């Protein structure tokens, strides 16, 4: 495996590189993020297939919706004194790493600043 540009995988056959969003796409995205969610699937096997499909398609515009859905589920479980599954946590971390790396690259900002950038854009667009 070969990594470049802040830890983003960029191998020859990588979907990551082929589907890297452009700066303009990212700047227009908040409008679509406000209401976008991934349907919640209670069956673990079907949920794993759904999430795996999102990663395999390489559509980076689906990942923010996935992150939002998983974060909302985590908050809901916290209110009920529950705990998210380890597989959901792993999917969330993987999606955040991809988004932070690729959006950071496209926007020329450090990956750790991407969540704050997205939150600020969503807040100002409301």
Does the residue 2 lie in any domain?
Answer: no
Q: List phi, psi (to 5°) of 8.
A: -80, 130
What CATH number is attached to the domain comprising 26?
1.20.58.1290
CA distances from 122 to 17, 20, 45, 60 (A): 26, 21, 32, 17
Domain total in the chain? 1
Does the residue 5 lie in any domain?
Answer: no
Does the residue 108 lie in any domain?
Answer: yes
pTM above 0.75, yes or no: no
Q: Quote the domain boundaries for residue 26.
A: 22-125
Block mean pLDDT (10 aa), the chain, length 126: 50 48 73 69 88 85 84 89 88 92 90 88 60
Confidence at residue 119, expressed as pLDDT on a 0 to 100 scale: 80
């Amino acid at each position: 495996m070969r990594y470049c540009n802040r830890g983003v995988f960029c191998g020859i056959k990588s979907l990551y590189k082929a589907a890297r969003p452009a700066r303009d796409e990212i700047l227009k995205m908040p409008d679509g993020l406000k209401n976008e969610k991934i349907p919640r699937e209670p069956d673990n096997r079907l949920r794993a297939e759904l999430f795996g499909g999102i990663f395999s398609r390489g559509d980076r515009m689906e990942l923010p919706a996935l992150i939002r859905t998983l974060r909302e589920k985590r908050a809901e479980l916290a209110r009920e004194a529950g705990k998210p599954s380890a597989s959901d946590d792993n999917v969330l971390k993987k999606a955040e790493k991809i988004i932070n790396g690729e959006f950071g690259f496209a926007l020329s900002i450090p990956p750790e600043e991407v969540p704050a950038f997205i939150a600020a854009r969503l807040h100002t667009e409301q």
